[in-house]
Every structure is written in structure tokens, then in C-alpha cells.
Amino acid sequence: MNRSKYIQEKKQSSRKRLAIKIALIVTLSTVLVVGVYAVVLKKKAVDAADRAYQALDDRIKSDLRDEVVEPLKDNVSILFVGVDESEKRGQGDSNSRSDALLVATLNNKDKSIKLVSIPRDSYVYVPSRGRNDKITHAHAFGGIPSTIETVEGMLDIPIDYYVKMNFNAFIEVVDALGGIEAEVPYELTELDENDKRTVHLEPGLQELNGKQALALARTRKLDSDIERGKRQQMILKSIMSQATSIKSITKYGDLIDAVGDNMKTNMTFSEMKSFFEYAKGGMPDVETINISGLDDMSTGVYYWLPDEEGLEQLKIDLQNHLEVSPSSSLVNENSGIKSNTDINESADDAIFSR
């Protein structure tokens, strides 16, 4: 072998070794960065979960459960409560109404979810008031415990967990995900989180930021509470779809920051992690359900009167999905009847502002 050929082969061998070294350094650096990111992300998640955690006094489980549920092995339910709060309206105001109520039942065997929207003006028995009222007032007169008790009585199922979010949390979650895709049914101009009419949307499928998504979720002037509930279900499904997509992994840090200070829940960090099982294969199967009923203005105050037959069937469907038995103790003989002896609703509404 001549000298020049030997030198050339040696250079090639050196370049190969250098390339391998560089590849190893890049690989190890990537693993290290990912590992550090995972550790930092977990610490942020734990800190955020600690800030968001709010137990329900001495309530360890629903009164309709014999034992405490475990999300990894049991069918469970979650009540999502969107409250009428912002910096302008006040944070944690005991008089705030629930602006959105959605109940999710999760079946652990088939990883399916039923998502029920409850119209905010549904006329139901509110235990904290001792009479029938709009379900939105359950939170105003008794907070989350009153809301849970009312929903359990209405649907005759245990509510295992709750997630309460204010306007700021909703906006920041959507923005942290880089926006969501949603169908705007018609042109609308709506209030923002500061009650200023600044949000204008054209109809059609489009990307929405947090303020726009909130406006779409809240508006009800051009249709009804039922359609409003459908939009809220659509938006929640879109958030779930975006959050479970691979491209959102790098946004989890911002997402955690978004909910840490603007969300309350009785779920521990460990319990939250359990629900990732439902998203392992991507977006889980979500069935959206709306409560049928009638508009009522017979007293001069608007109510949504749930259809009793439809409500009974819904109770059965949710009980079957959770694999629980009905509770006769929840039956209230006045829960579907409006009485002229009810307290004047306009006096109650004077307490609140929209």
C-alpha cells in the first residue's frame, strides 16, 4: 500500500470515528435534555397540582359510594364546573354562578367517556336552598359542595371528582395549547372575560384563541342553552384532542402553569396521572349527551324544564356506564314540579350580575 492511500484511509477512519462521537454526544445530550425536561415538568406538575388541590371538607368519597374509588381500576365520574369569575368580577366570589356544568362518566374497561351538558337554567331541586331553583344558583348559594349535591340528586349517580375553572384558566389553557379548532355556527360579537364586547367571530370551522373560545362557549343570545351546551361539549372535546396530540408535548409546561392558579379540584396528582390511561391510544371515545326539555316563561322568569322521561333514561344510561345502582334516597317528590310558592326568582337574580 502506497503512503498516500494509507493517509487517505486513515483520514476516512478518523472522520468515521469523529462522526460516531458526534452522534453519541448528540444522542446523550438529547436524552439528558429530555430527562431534565421530564423532571422539571413533573416538579411543575406536582407544584401545580398542590396549588389546585382543594378537598371537600371531610368528604373522602361520595355518599353514594361504599368505597373510595381508584381511577386505575374503577369507573369514575368528574363534574366540570366553569364559574362566572374573572379579575373584574372577583376571584372565588361565593355568589358566583356556575356558567357551565358538564358531567363526564368514565368506563375503565373500554376507556369510553360519556359527556353530559347540564343547561345552567335547569329547574331542579337544590338541597342547599331547600327548594327547586335554577341549577346555576347551587354554586352561588353553596359553592362546589352544593353543586355536587344538586347534580347527584338530579342524575342519581355519584360524583367522584370535580374540576372548577374560572374564565382566566379557560383562556390560558386554550392559549397554552396554541389554540383549538372549533366550528362557529354564526357571526357573533360577544363579551370578553372583562365584560367588554371585543370578540367578533365569523361563521365556519377555524382556529380560536382563548378569548375567542371563551366567547363561543358563553354566547347564548342567538340560540339556546341547549345549543350553548353543545358548543361547550365541542370545545372541551377539542381541548382534549389537542392536549392528547404528540405536538402538544412541548406545551405541557405552559399548560401546567395555566391551570395551577386558576383551577381547583379534589384530585391528587397521582389520581390525575391515572387518567392518562384513557389517552394512551390517542383521543378516547367521547359520547356527548344533552338533556332534553322545554323552555318555560310562565312566571316571567326563564327556566329549562328537563323532560322527566328523558331524564330517567339518562340516569339509567349513566348508572350502567358507571356500573352503579340507583339510590332511592336521592328521589325528591318535588324535583320536577314548579310551585307558585317558590321564592320570587327576580329577587334572587338581583344578587348577581351577568
Q: Into how many domains does the chain fold?
A: 1
Instruction: Please report whether residue 288 resides in a domain.
Output: yes
Instruction: Please report whether residue 128 resides in a domain.
Output: yes
> Tell me, what's the pLDDT at 276?
75
**What CATH number does residue 318 fall under?**
3.30.420.590
Non-local CB neighbours of 147 within 8 Å, separated by 6+ positions: 79, 81, 98, 101, 135, 138, 139, 162
> Tell me, what's the pLDDT at 299?
85
* CA gap 45, 40 in Å, rounded: 8
pLDDT by 10s per residue, the chain, length 354: 565 665 565 556 666 666 665 655 554 544 444 444 455 556 767 777 888 889 987 788 899 999 999 998 999 999 999 887 655 555 554 568 888 899 999 998 888 999 999 999 999 999 999 999 999 999 999 999 999 999 999 999 999 999 998 888 888 889 888 899 999 999 999 888 777 888 999 999 999 999 999 999 888 778 888 888 899 989 988 988 887 775 656 666 777 777 777 789 998 888 888 887 777 766 778 899 999 999 999 888 999 999 999 999 999 999 999 999 987 544 444 444 444 344 444 445 444 434
Instruction: Please report whether residue 315 resides in a domain.
Output: yes
Instruction: Please report whether residue 75 resides in a domain.
Output: yes
Instruction: Please report whether residue 213 resides in a domain.
Output: no
Instruction: Please report whether residue 266 resides in a domain.
Output: no
> Tell me, what's the pLDDT at 245?
72
Instruction: Please report whether residue 302 resides in a domain.
Output: yes
> Tell me, what's the pLDDT at 32?
46
Question: Which residue segment(s) compose the domain that 69 sits in?
Answer: 60-81+90-162+282-354
> Tell me, what's the pLDDT at 12?
61
Instruction: Please report whether residue 42 resides in a domain.
Output: no
* CA gap 261, 172 in Å, rounded: 11
Output the nine-digit C-alpha cell for 345: 326568582
